[in-house]
Amino acid sequence: MNILNLAIYFITGGLFTVIIVALEESGQRVLSGFATLMPVFTIVAYLFIGQTRGGKAVGEHAKFVLVGTLISWVPYMLAVAYLSPRIGPHKAILTGFAIFFALALIYVAAANRFRFFQ
């Protein structure tokens, strides 16, 4: 991996984050929500992974991420959605992230231990 590729990955990710936040701050909630739903990071990552490691690597990674999303991302989003109105966004995000992190660690450890998606 060379420094130019790292710079491209970094700029691409940052650009989409800026666009999402700018749309939300300008009151364009539908566009911001739509942009957030777009699998931008996986699209960009998979293009680069496919370019360097091929289609099989992309397919295995996609399976890993799909299962991981169900195990860790869905509970995270449910926690944030449920807790934000009750304890505020910062505490809800922190709590949701703790849930996400714990479940993601368990998932990654299990996937590694049992050699899922390799």
Judged on CB neighbours under 10 Å (0-12, 13-18, 19+), 115 is exposed
Specify the pTM.
0.72
CB 38 within 8 A of CB 31: no
pLDDT at 36: 81
CA 103-104-107 angle, to 5 degrees, is: 85
pLDDT at 37: 82
Task: Of 7-16, 46-55, 101-110, give the lowest mean pLDDT range.
Answer: 7-16
> Given its phi and psi angles, is residue 38 left (phi above 0), alpha (psi -120 to 50 degrees) or beta?
beta
Q: What CA–CA distance (Å, rounded) separates 21 from 74?
A: 22
Backbone angles phi, psi at 117, to 5 degrees: 60, 35
What would you measure as the largest C-alpha separation in the chain, in angstroms? 47
Question: What tokens appear for 34 in the block?
Answer: 């739509």
Mean pLDDT for the chain overall: 91
pLDDT at 1: 66
Average pLDDT over residues 33-55: 86
pLDDT at 78: 98
> Given its phi and psi angles, is residue 12 left (phi above 0), alpha (psi -120 to 50 degrees) or beta?
alpha
Residue ranges covered by each domain of the chain = 1-38, 54-118
Looking at the chain, the whole-number percentage of residues with pLDDT higher than 90 is 63
The per-residue pLDDT for range 50-81, each reduced to its tens digit, is 999 999 999 999 999 999 999 999 999 999 99
Looking at the chain, the whole-number percentage of residues with pLDDT higher than 70 is 99
Question: What tokens appear for 115 in the block?
Answer: 């050699």
